[in-house]
Amino acid sequence: MSEEASISVIIPTFNEESCIEICLQRLELAGVDELIVVDGGSDDRTRELAERRADKVVVEPGGVFSQMNRGAREAEGEILLFQYADGLPGEDAGAVIRRTLESPRISGGAFRLNLDRGGVFYRAVSRCAHWRNRLGFGPFGDQSIFVRAQVFSDAGGFPEDGALPDHEFVRILARNRSFRLLKEPVTVSTRRWERCGKLRTLLRHWRISLLYLIGMGRNRSTVTRGADALRKVR
């Protein structure tokens, strides 16, 4: 893939006025080509603030993965980067993505999780996330998943009726060994952990992942309820 391959960034939002401007400012420095904010029906100033910097701001009330699929349909880039509003990729993110996708065997990837607060607990969570990915659990959406636009379209996008659509999509790519986990970090806010409680949030993450992997996720109900609960606290 050419170094000049265009990158469209899709940012799903819902009441993100506290962080959307900072996220968009960082992305403007990251060497990407198009910023698309897909709002889920915010009742704060999210859309107003986004319109100052984003190339497109559209409304899609169907949930975070419906929002990201809608953003992909709106995008014009050859590469799609799905970026949560409370995450900050490195200023070299665009170059890193293009370099990763120079190999035609690689279809997509994700960044290493780095939580924005220090301390033993949060460092341990970041390290555990790294090993969780290596052991086959796969990254979640807050790790800034990126993919070739054509591959995303061919795969049908995120499976919106799935228990863990981001995880399921990554597993589709990983089956062909075409997904790359990067050493470069995306820095993610700890606000969910602070709001819901550190231990409770950690146990919920692992419980959802384990239930999914042992097959209960195929029945959807238990995992879907847990995944929905996580995504509401954003």
d(CA 73, CA 163): 22
| Residue 225 clears pLDDT 50, i.e. is over it | no
- 229 pLDDT exceeds 50? no
**pLDDT surpasses 60 at 3:** no
20-59 pLDDT tens trace = 999 999 999 999 999 999 999 999 999 999 999 999 999 9
Average the pLDDT over each of 45-54, 83-92, 114-123 and give the range with the smallest value: 114-123
**3-state SS of 97-158?**
HHHHCCCCCCCEEEEEEEECCCCHHHHHHHHHHHHHHHCCCCCCHHHCCEEEHHHHHHCCCC
- Look at the pTM and tell me if it is higher than 0.75: yes
Question: Mean pLDDT over residues 156-171, rounded?
Answer: 82
Q: State the pLDDT confidence band at 160, using cuts at 50, 70 and 90.
A: confident
User: Quick one: CATH architecture of 7-232?
Assistant: Alpha-Beta Complex (3.90)
